[in-house]
A and B are shown apart, each in its own frame.
Chain A
Amino acid sequence: MAWILVILPLLFGSLSLILRNHRIVWVLLLFGGILHSVITLWVWIRPIEGNSLVFLDPLGMLILTVTSALFLMVVFYSIGYLKNHKERSSLTVGCLFLFLAAMSLVSVSADMGLLWVAVEATTLASAPLIYFHKNHQSLEAAWKYLLICSVGIALALMGNIFLSYAGGDSIEGLYIPDLLQNANRLDPRWLKVAFILFLVGYGTKMGLAPLHSWLPDAHSEAPSMVSALLSGSLLNCAFLGILRAFGILRLSGLEEWGGNILILFGVSSLIMAALFLIQQTDFKRMLAYSSVEHMGILALGIGVGGLAGTGALLHLINHSLAKSFMFLVAGNILVFYQTKNIDSVTGLIQKTPKTAFLWMAGFLAIAGSPPFGLFMSEWIILKGLIDSEQWVLIIVYLLALFIVFASIAKYIISMTFSDSSPTVEESKGSFRRNEPLWMWVPPFLLASVTLILGLYVPQALLSFLSAIFPGMGGI
């Protein structure tokens, strides 16, 4: 049953690669996206038991749902976006579907090996998407993405091998439920190495500093809907790998040890992101670095555990929504101004009010200020830190968040409110005022979801999240 979630996009992808007519391809895209999300919903309603390879546990469900929802939004956006790039439609759509398939596989796979294969597959499926624009920069970005992530993934494979060996003869294979059950019978020495390898491997993909180096390039060069998927879903998938490993580690009594490493990565990512956001000149890179920062927050929260862990899982949802919608809006700005340079974008609010509105709202959202969901989740994490009395961490966390807020605010204000010099219209022949539906409806929907999550967090959701890891602490 769970296979459908993988096979279906695979099918659609290959179809759209075969028949190259862009209209058909668009229809396929729309249909596939909707179908996938429908199936995901159905899986929620009628839970299914997995087999030795695939299953659907809460964690997987979480990632799967986020991915599927984002994909749906991206579908609407991309159909509008591809109108201007008809010739590349079939390849793009095909790769999008393969990407979706890979990500769904990641979230449903019940075997660490399969998970690993899936993560590698995401790399391969998304590389052509990053190379969408077919110019020097995008090529460079794709090349870096490919090489760095492959290296990382190779390390993760080593992690798999070590894990299987840590199991010894007692545990057959890498079936996650088995591992979780017999976690205490794993050989800690090998398990530790395995975890470090997983962390570095999947962490490269997830963009934890200092392994994040591919992330800004890829996000800034890829077409915006792809950046949205990369930042909103792919990073989560990589994080899922780490979470699986950490789950095993927790049960084998190494929680403290592993948590410290995670906290280390979280802090370093927070600081690096904050410092790199100062004096940034490219607004898509700005968003990318903010992703690094949020990944750091996730790592920190999980590492600290307790309430912070639950907060981190909530933050995962919020960040995916907010960041992807921010990337979509950035795509609009890119379409209008034909530049990613912050200084040459002026007077959004006068020229494109809807986009400006969304851009401002998105800023408030990703900078973690009310009434958006990220405020809530960041705050729960802070509460977790306070409860565990990690005063130094609290200071670092708040300071980094503040610096991030300050620098992003600076850019956003100058872009949105600066006086629009007429030269912009004159020089940019392609400057357009009208904002078609596809440009602002999907981001608007995403934004409203984040908004709701900021003002109303269902108890069901919270209990669901806090049940994911036993003893993760609820509210």
Chain B
Amino acid sequence: MGILLLVGSWILLGIGTLFLWFLRNKKVTHLIGTVTVFLSSLFIFGGSLWVLIQGSPDEYYLPWNIPFGSIYLRIDFLSALFLLLLAVIGGLVALYSYGYFFEERTQRSLSRYWIFYFGLFGGISLVFTAYNGVFFLLAWEGMSITSFFLVLHEFTNKEVRKAGWIYLMATHGGTAFLLVLFGILGSDLEVWDFNMFQYPAMLATPIFLLACIGFGTKAGFMPFHVWLPEAHPAAPSPVSALMSGVMIKTGIYGLIRVISWLEGDIPLSWGILCIGLSSVTGVLGVLHALGKKDLKEILAYSSIENMGIIGMGLGIGLYGLSRSLGIGALLGFTAALFHVLHHGLLKSSLFLASGTVLHATHTRNIEELGGLWKKVPKTGTLFGLSSFGIAGLPPMSGFVGEFLLFLAVLSLSIQGKTIVDILIALIVLISLAVIGVGSVACFTRLFGVVFLGEPRKEKTVHLVEGWTWTIPLYLLGGMNLVLGIGSIGLAPLVFGAVVSTVPGIAYQTALDTVTILQQTLFPLGVLGLLFLSLTILFSRIWNWILKNRSVETSPTWDCGYTRPTSRMQYTASSFTYPILRVFRRVLHPAESFQWEGNLFPRAASYTTTLHDLILRILYRPLVRTITRIARRIHALQEGKNQVYILYIALTLILLMVIFLGEVP
């Protein structure tokens, strides 16, 4: 049944594509696109919900005539969870796109957008359901390519083309690693169905390395993250929302799948590798997010940071498995999945809100923004709420994930007791603390600078807040709050997904973990409710106090300065400068300071810009070197016939000498 609904949604998408292909009317195109995605997302929602409620995986098998391939669809709890996320976000983003692309210039570009959106949507759902290596990889590549075209939507801009290229490179490179990975896993298999995969024992570590690189590229683990901060600003905001909300989660999904195939004892290296990678990812991600000035770039880096948190959850899980500390492991995986859901919801809503900002102001540079709340109050409210949530603060759902991760670390350290355990716990905890406070700083900065205070540059803001613009934001934010308070209600699904996927878990440990979850998540919910009700209570009290008092408004107190202007506000870069200054040895933010004027001060300017660390120290030099070598090599083909024939002669002689010549 679940599969049937999914297939139904794909058929729907196919029909929609046909329509779009032949239609020429703009309005109808737009409408059909939106409606199709919305309906098919409903189908997918129903399908995954069916599986979750019915409580048993749903599958469908059909032989397929390509090497190692078979059409093997399977929805287990894990897939169902991710599919739910996809359905919710995909549908809402489609709704948002209706408003966002309403003034799109040509019908052709509209239909292009929608067709590729269908492709991406269907591709992701396929990735979550495909249960055969070849099938999975085809879906994977389809997803990547369609998203590449979506990134290129505003292709007339040179930056966009560059970003698209980088994105294509990243995703293709990642896929190469996956090819090798599946090739190894599927060696001496007729058909690469997932349930047949097993590990050659001596290759375990390389296999996980391959998986980490291949899937980590999509998930945005450092140092394979470079495409995110390029592609997200370049893509239209709904696309970034879908990509950052769901698509990068496919990397996490893949990693969990790879974990689910192993039987027997897991090498310790896996957990340590994963933890190391993802803690670096998280910390560096949040630091970059603190340093950047581009609205969507900041959001992209915050995605990277959250991927780091998720990765740490997985890492703790793996480590716990290999140390046979079951409870910690289960808590880690559960934390990771919780965080996946949370981040999907909130990051997509943030990207959508940033889309509204872009649409209103046509700039992504937050130093030029400010005071937008008064212009777009609903969006402002939701952006504030989402920032609050994504900073991982209670009672939003972001906190649940981090809290569970913290619990996992705690139980790991308390039950493990060896020095390595403590060190692991230390690493995770420190990076968790840095990420937590860092993201609070980052998002107070973002929200405060963009929406609060006064506009820093007078821009022509044409206000757009139709219902299609705000409804998705409300729903996403609201869902997040509900998940945060009612996490106990979601826990069974997430935990079920974890238990059904992770191998080698004793029944007793599962039970203990369940009790721990109950002990913690319920009070969390209570506290959340308490917090909300207290807030409301105080607001009531205040209204009552201020009922018969003088409430005046006057300009901001600026210590007696008579003519405060909006340019006197604290800038975004100086807001986080002190923090970055601590890490300047690592990050090397480029500073430029102009100061004309001798005795008497005149116009002076000071700017700091932060370039991506990895890009600077790793990729740029690499590309430069290869290009230099290539230029050298080009000299071999200077157009002289004689030289060419000389090559032939030399090749002949060399071959004869190497492969024949033995001294008589």
Using a CB–CB distance below 8 Å, which chain A residues touch chain B? 143-144, 147-148, 151-152, 155, 192-193, 196-197, 199-200, 204, 210-211, 213-214, 216, 257, 261, 272, 275-276, 278-279, 349, 353, 364, 369-371, 375-376, 379-380, 382-383, 386-387, 394, 398, 401-403, 405-406, 409-410, 413-414, 417-419, 455-459, 462, 475
Given A151-B645, A192-B659, A459-B65, do A370 and B141 touch, yes or no (CB 8 Å)?
yes
- Of A276, A380, A410, the contact of B630 (CB 8 Å cutoff): A276
Other-chain residue from A148, A379, A386 in contact with B187 (beta carbon distance below 8 A): A386
**Neighbour of B179 across the interface among A261, A272, A379, A414, CB < 8 A:** A379
Closest to B642 in A: A147
Q: Are B165 and A210 touching (Cβ within 8 A)?
A: no
Q: How far is the CA of A447 from the CA of B97 in the complex (A)?
A: 33
B50: Cβ under 8 A from any A Cβ: no
Report B61 CB to chain A, min CB distance, Å: 17
A257, A369, A402, A413: the one within 8 Å of B164 (CB): A413
Task: Give B159 Cβ to nearest chain A Cβ, in Å.
Answer: 12
**Which 9 pairs of residues, A with B, have the shortest CB-CB distance?**
A213-B644, A417-B155, A278-B630, A386-B183, A419-B156, A370-B141, A275-B633, A275-B630, A210-B647
Residues of B within 8 A of A214 (CB): 644
Whether, in the assembled complex, B627 has its beta carbon less than 8 Å from a beta carbon of chain A, the answer is yes
Q: A414 to chain B: which residues have CB within 8 Å?
A: 161
Among the listed A200, A272, A379, A387, which residue makes an inter-chain contact with B652, where contact means beta carbons less than 8 Å apart?
Answer: A200
Chain A proximity of B149: nearest CB distance (Å): 9
Q: A210-B636, A417-B152, A419-B156 are in contact. Are A369 and B630 (CB under 8 A)?
A: no
18 contacts between A and B (CB under 8 A): A151-B645, A211-B647, A211-B651, A216-B637, A278-B627, A279-B630, A349-B155, A370-B138, A398-B179, A402-B169, A402-B172, A405-B172, A413-B164, A413-B168, A417-B152, A418-B156, A418-B158, A419-B156
Please determine whether B641 and A143 come into contact, CB atoms closer than 8 angstroms. yes
In the assembled complex, the Cα of A216 lies from the Cα of B636 at a distance in Å of 13
A211 to B648, CA, bound (A): 6
The answer to whether A403 touches B626 (Cβ under 8 A) is yes
Q: Report B612-664 residues with CB < 8 Å from chain A CB.
A: 626-627, 629-631, 633-634, 636-637, 641, 643-645, 647-648, 651-652, 655-656, 659-660
Q: Chain B: residues with CB nearer than 8 A to chain A?
A: 64-68, 108, 137-138, 141-142, 145, 152, 155-156, 158, 161, 164-165, 168-169, 172-173, 176, 179-180, 183-184, 187, 626-627, 629-631, 633-634, 636-637, 641, 643-645, 647-648, 651-652, 655-656, 659-660
Q: Which of B67, B142, B645 contacts A147 (CB 8 A)?
A: B645
| Cα separation A418 to B647 with both chains bound (whole Å) | 39
With A371-B142, A382-B183, A458-B65 already in contact, the answer to whether A213 and B631 are too (CB < 8 A) is no
Best-surrounded residue of B67, B155, B156, B168 (most CB of chain A within 10 A): B67
Q: Are B644 and A144 within 8 A (Cβ)?
A: yes
Q: Distance in Å from the Cβ of B624 to the closest Cβ of chain A? A: 12
Distance (Å) between the CB of A44 and the closest chain B CB? 20
Could you tell me the distance in whole angstroms from the C-beta of A248 to the nearest C-beta in chain B?
17
Contact in complex: A370, B137 (CB < 8 Å): yes
Other-chain contact of A144, B142, B180, B641, B652 (Cβ < 8 Å): B641
Of B152, B169, B179, chain A has the most CB atoms within 10 Å of the CB of B179
CB A315 to nearest CB in B, in angstroms, measures 12
Are A402 and B176 touching (Cβ within 8 A)? yes
Beyond A278-B630, A402-B176, 5 additional contacts (C-beta under 8 Å) are A211-B647, A369-B141, A370-B145, A379-B179, A417-B155
Residues of B within 8 A of A364 (CB): 145
* Set of chain B residues within 8 Å of A353, measured between Cβ atoms: 108
Q: Determine whether the beta carbon of B633 is less than 8 Å from that of A272.
A: yes
- CB-CB under 8 A from B168, the residues of chain A are 409, 413
Compute how far the CA of A375 lies from the CA of B140 in the bound complex, rounded to whole angstroms. 13
Q: How far is the CB of B22 from chain A (nearest CB, A)?
A: 15
Q: How far is the CB of A143 from chain B (nearest CB, A)?
A: 7
A146–B173 CA distance with the chains assembled, in angstroms: 40
When distances are taken between beta carbons in the complex, the residues of chain A under 8 Å from B142 are: 370-371
- Find chain A residues with CB under 8 A from B158 CB: 418
The reply to whether A394 and B636 contact each other, CB–CB distance below 8 Å, is no
Give the residues in chain A near B645, CB-CB below 8 Å: 147-148, 151
Q: B172: nearest residue on chain A (CB-CB)?
A: A405
Q: A383 vs B66: C-alpha distance in the bound complex, in angstroms?
A: 14
Given contacts A370-B141, A413-B165, contact A147 B641 (CB under 8 A): yes
Q: Are B648 and A406 in contact (CB under 8 A)?
A: no
| Minimum distance in angstroms from A80 CB to a CB of chain B | 26
Task: Find out whether the CB atom of A462 lies under 8 angstroms from the CB atom of B141.
Answer: no
Chain A's closest residue to B637 (CB) is A213
**Residues in chain A near residue B634, CB distance under 8 A:** 275-276, 279
